[in-house]
Amino acid sequence: MFDPTFLTRTKLRNRKGAVLPLFALMLPVILILCGFAINMAYMQLVATEMKVSTDVSSHAAGRALSEAQREIVTNVSPSVRREQIVQATYDAIETASKWNDVGGKQLSIRLDDRDVHFGYSVRPPDEMYQFTQVPVSQIKSGAERASSVGVKGRINIPLVFQSMNISKFTPERRSIATQVDRDIALVLDRSGSMLYYKDMADLDETLEELYNDVVQVRRLRYNYKKGYYYYEYYNERRISYDDYVQALGYYQSKGKWRRADPDIYERNFTSDVRNEMYDYWTRSSEQEHKDMYEFMYDWEQYATSWNNGFKTKAPRHSRWSFLVLGVEAFLDVLGGTTDGLESGTDQKELVALVTFDSTARVDTALTDDDIKNGGVAYYQNIRNIVADIVPLNGTGIGEGLATGLPPIADPDWAQNNNMSGAVARPFAEKTIIVLTDGIPSSGTANPVTTVQNLVHSNAVTIHTVTFTPDADKVAMQSVADEGGGKHYHADTGDFLVTIFKEVANNLPTILTE
């Protein structure tokens, strides 16, 4: 009898093992794809290792370029010194390249212009950093200055799976570190106007009101007909407001502080009257009035001490007192603070202090004293000097600018002038930051002309800061324009502190490629 399921069972039996040919066909394809995936993963791994190795090498090169310049070396010519700095950079690259293998091999970097690129990086507005390579021969000769170091890595790596005559791949990568080291000259106006109150117009108006109030109080306490006494032998003449201001030591003429006898403040503005006015101001809850009181009280201490042949610090709430706070904030950003609130920048800025009135002087050569070396805070020497300066005389902005350049541009300046401090670094960016609250005095150098002469023969950037409404903002904007820097202005003391922080934050090793 015929079985109808016979054919079906036969077909099923014949299909067993039919996938084997397909598997035999697909297995090589799968192996090829696996090999391709493994090769791709390996290439990505090697590329990451290459990135790490070149980044580490370039960062080490940038740090070496910076640190080598800070070493004080005597009796060595500038050309030999530059060669030593370049060699120190090469040594750092050679050492760092051994720290990280690439594909199980040590990265070999040729220590010449083929693999090590000296140069500088700039960042146009809204664009990425652009690196310009400079031949190392020009760096050694001093014709060019380097702030960036690029390291190019290139290595032959065998593939895990080799086929179709492809047995290796050659990853290549360049990493550029820009070490924006700066030698900075902080050029500060210590002219007499820096002793003035932070807002002169407000103080004048308030003092005149106070003067009238004091006159009324004294009229009640003394003979009404005799009025407000200036000197006892001027019984019949009451002091005018202008004379009153002058008598308080508030008026400056020809560089000399005009003073009456030392107790003129006490006689014209007695303790009980001062206390009454202070109590009134305190009750009015106006901080500005209390500031004025403290300023005038400190002013008398200053004026009396000056009259007796010694100086005290500038009064509280004077322009100089706010400058002290601004410099503190500036140095905190650069170097950090002992309380850890400011960590400082990655690099080391060296700072020189120059102050000017009618003339200019270098108060300290480049310094980098810091907490690690036992200092109370970074740049403590500069902090102490600024806090103790008592302003006086005219405003020679041009003289200050001209005096600010040599300490940061000439490596031998400190030694030649018998001043302790760090040497000017040959490859560091040179920056002058000048602050003034006034207008250049007659007979002093024109600041715009001075800057034109400075930038003509030196690679230096000049930033300007003006303080109070009295300052010549137009002239100082021109100085900044000629010096390739920025101009900042502060009408108030609090904003001056903010500006100094901004200036410091805009100065900073970064990887730029």
Same-domain status, 219 and 112: no
> Could you report the per-residue pLDDT of 452-504, keeping only the tens digit for each?
988 888 888 899 999 888 788 999 999 999 998 899 998 887 888 888 888 88
> Could you report the per-residue pLDDT of 327-336, keeping only the tens digit for each?
888 888 877 6
Listed residue (145, 239, 134) closest to 183, CA to CA: 145
Is residue 238, in this structure, part of any structural domain at all?
yes
Query: For 83-87, 370-374, 390-394, 404-408, which range has the lowest pLDDT when averaged over its residues?
Result: 370-374
Is residue 4, in this structure, part of any structural domain at all?
no
For strands 350-356 and 360-367, give the pairing.
antiparallel
Is residue 2, in this structure, part of any structural domain at all?
no
Q: Which domain holds residue 273?
A: 199-307
> Could you report the per-residue pLDDT of 250-275, keeping only the tens digit for each?
433 333 333 333 344 444 444 555 55
Same-domain status, 164 and 121: yes
Same-domain status, 106 and 239: no
Q: Mean of the per-residue pLDDT values for the chain?
A: 74
Is residue 501, in this structure, part of any structural domain at all?
yes
| Choice between 125 and 391, residue whose per-residue pLDDT is larger | 391
Same-domain status, 203 and 124: no
Same-domain status, 436 and 373: yes
Q: Which of 287, 307, 327 is the last residue of a domain?
A: 307
- Decide if pLDDT at 72 tops 60: no
- The reported pLDDT for the residue numbered 219 is 44
Same-domain status, 173 and 293: no
Which residue's entry shows tokens 């220590």? Answer: 111
The predicted model gives 350-372 an average pLDDT of 81
Cα–Cα distance for residue pair 482/398, rounded to 1 Å: 13
Q: Which of 147, 178, 209 is the last residue of a domain?
A: 178
The predicted model gives 89-106 an average pLDDT of 88
The CA–CA distances, whole Å, from 362 to 238, 352, 366, 486 equal: 46, 8, 10, 23
Same-domain status, 343 and 327: yes
Same-domain status, 464 and 335: yes
> Could you report the per-residue pLDDT of 156-186, keeping only the tens digit for each?
888 877 776 777 888 888 888 887 778 889 9
Cα–Cα distance for residue pair 66/179, rounded to 1 Å: 7
Is residue 312, in this structure, part of any structural domain at all?
no
Is residue 157, in this structure, part of any structural domain at all?
yes
The CA–CA distances, whole Å, from 172 to 50, 54, 109, 177 equal: 8, 10, 11, 17
Is residue 3, in this structure, part of any structural domain at all?
no
Above pLDDT 70, what percent of the chain? 68
Is residue 8, in this structure, part of any structural domain at all?
no
Same-domain status, 506 and 421: yes
Q: Which of 284, 307, 330 is the last residue of a domain?
A: 307
Number of domains in the chain: 3
Same-domain status, 403 and 267: no
Same-domain status, 30 and 137: yes
Same-domain status, 98 and 203: no
> Could you report the per-residue pLDDT of 435-456, keeping only the tens digit for each?
988 777 766 788 889 899 888 8
